[in-house]
Amino acid sequence: MRKKLRSKWLWISIFFSIIVLVIVLATTVDESTIGHLFRMDPTFLLLAFGLRVLALGVWAFKIQKMAESLGYQVPFLYCLNTVNANLFAGAITPAQAGGEPVRIHELYAAKVKLGDATALVITERLLDAIILIIAGIIAVSFLGAMNLSSVVRMGIYLAWGTMLGVVILFIYSAHRPDLLKRLLKKGVGCVAKKWDATRVQDTCERIDREVDNFHASLALFATKGRAGLVWGSVCTAAFWSLEFLVPSFLLLGLGEKPYFAESFLLQIVIAIIMMVPTTPGGSGVAEVSAYSLYALLVKSSIAGVFVVLWRALFYYFNIALGLLASIPILRREINED
């Protein structure tokens, strides 16, 4: 059943993406596009690919150092495969939310306590949000100078506000673990109407235990595990910086100016929009957002091809790499069964 559901969301996600990309290309490709394609510089395209791979390595290093600060030794290559495997789940779920359970599961399989693994993954997600919120303040302050439609502006403000709200809610619940327990138990009550009393009680006891572990892990990050927060913050900033540099090298590969500062700003805006749950993997939303924004920098005939390359590197590459990384995980699970 789960495999069928994952397959369904995968095809829905790919369908949305392909349809939008076809529409973008059909409405933008002209004679000048063909000329630019013949003048493409593969060196810059390879550099863009290299930056993407390096960013994933930084992400894996962040997980390793954060786990180390909690007293766990998780090999770098194991963390790298965990990051790669999480890309597939993220590509078929809104706001890439499916990646978190994969990372938690893999850390748990590496002998990290479930509460600690959950705290680590949520903390790194929180660091992502904080970095993007700070960057978003810069981006939002420059929106007035950009020729954006009211609909796009509203979407950006909504995305940024949603992220800020989630961070505030998380910080509040971290200080009030009793509130988090009540919320989770209410959720169990909504879905467990047909469960027997023993199962409900066991689930509630596990919630109490894991929330306590989770809260203790967060406290550990704030005390003995401070090094993990430092490493996590530095690696998070480095990861997003590398990710945001990739589009500039794609533009160079297409024979355009890199627009480093402008592209960095636009990538912040797109990342904030992608954080809001919409379609699986942000399909359709990502393509339209990227085209609408980059058409402000380059000719539409180039913007369409750019979006195809950008989406290939940040979406289709994620699916392919995620599937490959999932193979050893599936083999391990089968052997354990």
Mean pLDDT (the chain) is 81
Residues 252 and 268 sit within 8 Å (Cβ to Cβ): no
Does residue 130 belong to any structural domain of this protein?
yes
| Lookup: tokens for 77 | 């290559």
pLDDT band at 277 (very low <50, low <70, confident <90, very high): low
Residue 209 CB partners (closer than 8 Å, separation 6+): 115
CA gap 288, 266 in Å, rounded: 13
Which domain range does residue 122 map to?
41-336
pLDDT of residue 103: 94
CA gap 161, 272 in Å, rounded: 10
Does residue 147 belong to any structural domain of this protein?
yes
pLDDT of residue 76: 97
Please give the tally of structural domains in the chain: 1
Flag whether pLDDT at 248 surpasses 90. Answer: yes
| CA 163, 164, 167, 168 torsion-angle sign | negative
CA gap 132, 268 in Å, rounded: 7
Q: What is the mean pLDDT of residues 11-36?
A: 70
Does residue 208 belong to any structural domain of this protein?
yes
Percent of the chain scoring above 90 in pLDDT: 26
Does residue 180 belong to any structural domain of this protein?
yes
pLDDT of residue 1: 44
Render 103-129 in DSSP notation, one character per residue: HHHHHHHTT--HHHHHHHHHHHHHHHH
Query: H helices within 176-225, ranges in order?
Result: 177-191, 197-222
Does residue 13 belong to any structural domain of this protein?
no
Flag whether pLDDT at 77 surpasses 50. Answer: yes
Q: How far is CA 85 from CA 116, 236, 248, 320, 324, in A?
A: 20, 19, 26, 10, 8
Give per-residue pLDDT as tens, 176-235: 777 777 777 777 777 666 677 777 777 777 777 767 776 776 777 777 778 888 999 999
Does residue 10 belong to any structural domain of this protein?
no
Give per-residue pLDDT as tens, 45-65: 999 999 999 999 999 999 999
Does residue 247 belong to any structural domain of this protein?
yes
CA gap 15, 237 in Å, rounded: 32
Q: How many CB atoms lie within 10 A of CB 108?
A: 15
The residue whose two tokens read 């596990």 is 206
Residues 39-71: b if buried by 16+ CB within 10 A, e if exposed: ebeeebbebbbebbebbbebbbbbbbbbbebbe
CA gap 337, 331 in Å, rounded: 10
Residue 140 CB partners (closer than 8 Å, separation 6+): 156, 157, 160
Does residue 244 belong to any structural domain of this protein?
yes
